[in-house]
Amino acid sequence: MQIENVLYAKQLRRIASGSSYRFLGGLVLVGSLFGTLPSYAAPTGGQITAGSGAISQTAGNTTVSQASQNLSLNWQSFNVGAHEAVNFVQPNAAAIAVNRIADTSASQILGSLNANGQVFLINPNGIVFGAGAQVNVGGLVASTLNISDSDLASATRHFSGSGAGAVVNHGTITAAPGGYVALLGRQVSNQGTINAPGGTAALGAGSAVSLSFDANHLLSMQVDANELNALAENKQLIVADGGQVLMSAGAKNSLLASVVNNTGVIQAQTVASHKGQIVLLAGMEAGTSTVNGTLDASAPDGGDGGFIETSGAYVQVADAARISTLAANGKTGTWHIHTGIRVRLFPYS
């Protein structure tokens, strides 16, 4: 580590409020919504509402065989027990299977969920991936917000709704190389592991969220509207080496409070010439971005360091936080702090 490229949180205490700051150089600044989950049976009441395909179920296994490029299904419930599996067999990586769930309770994914394409799980009452959950997909949207079938053909897909449930991951969710994982809802929380190599991991908290795609690649996310106390948080591990991690809570100009909170590890290191990007964005009028834990967009194995942004009306940086864009052999990357009101360092002196 090059000491001249290191800055500690306590050195930031002189930062003035209400400004945008860009730090060039590597910077090193040296949590549960649900408790124990019960076991549930396989998905029930599945019906295809658009597209073509078939549903088959045997003891402990549910298979959705998708024939059309886009497929929509309604389910009475969508739970996966600890020793159960749900498999989506899809035409290609760009195929989409939308699953709308009418359960009055949150869906509990405790076992395996597998897909070679993209799977959307939509339950307004919430979705919980248990500690033993193993999800392996081309792309995943787990959301309390709905999407219209007509939107699936668009490059920008709009999700909206008033579902009060939360989306929480305690398990392990892995996207295929270049794929994505997106958790959307009023409150979204990663308390397990999300891995999107060369792709995108996105946590979006609001009542309306737009995702922009190029085929099966998630390019960007925007929170368009939110209700009070929108929360996007990471308490464990998110890895998107050679890709990007996007966390956003609250619409940019919303006057309603929103929070983006990282107390875990977020890693998007450079892979070859592909620099990583990490963005924590809360509302610029009433949102708070809390930086604790680790944000790592470094380049330890060659190439240039990546880009980190932490933005919101308030940006809070803990003394124990670690932020790095260092490059072992190339150019050091950038940490950009954009605050509408104030940068705060804690614990306060």
Q: Where are the domains of the chain?
A: 47-345
Nearest Cα to Cα of residue 325 among 3, 6, 4 = 6
Query: Which backbone phi and psi does 102 adopt, to 5 degrees?
Result: -100, 15
> Which is it for strands 134-143 and 118-122: parallel, antiparallel or unpaired?
parallel
Residue 76 CA to residue 199 CA, distance in Å, equals 32
Residue 320 CA to residue 329 CA, distance in Å, equals 26
Residues of the chain with pLDDT under 50: 1-39, 348-349
Amino acid at 47: Q
**Dihedral angle computed from the Cα positions of residues 230, 145, 209 and 171, in that order, rounded to the nearest 10 degrees:** 70
For domain 47-345, the question of CATH label 2.160.20.10 is answered with: yes
9 within 8 A of 317, measured Cβ to Cβ? yes
pLDDT of residue 40: 55
Name the β-bridge partners of 8: none
Q: What is the pTM of this model?
A: 0.90
Residue 25 CA to residue 326 CA, distance in Å, equals 7
80 within 8 A of 112, measured Cβ to Cβ? yes
Query: ∠ CA 107-111-113 to the nearest 5 degrees?
Result: 80
User: Per-residue pLDDT tens for 159-212?
Assistant: 999 989 999 999 999 999 999 999 999 999 999 999 999 999 999 999 999 999
pLDDT of residue 78: 98
For 83, residues 6+ apart whose C-beta sits below 8 A from its C-beta are 60, 111
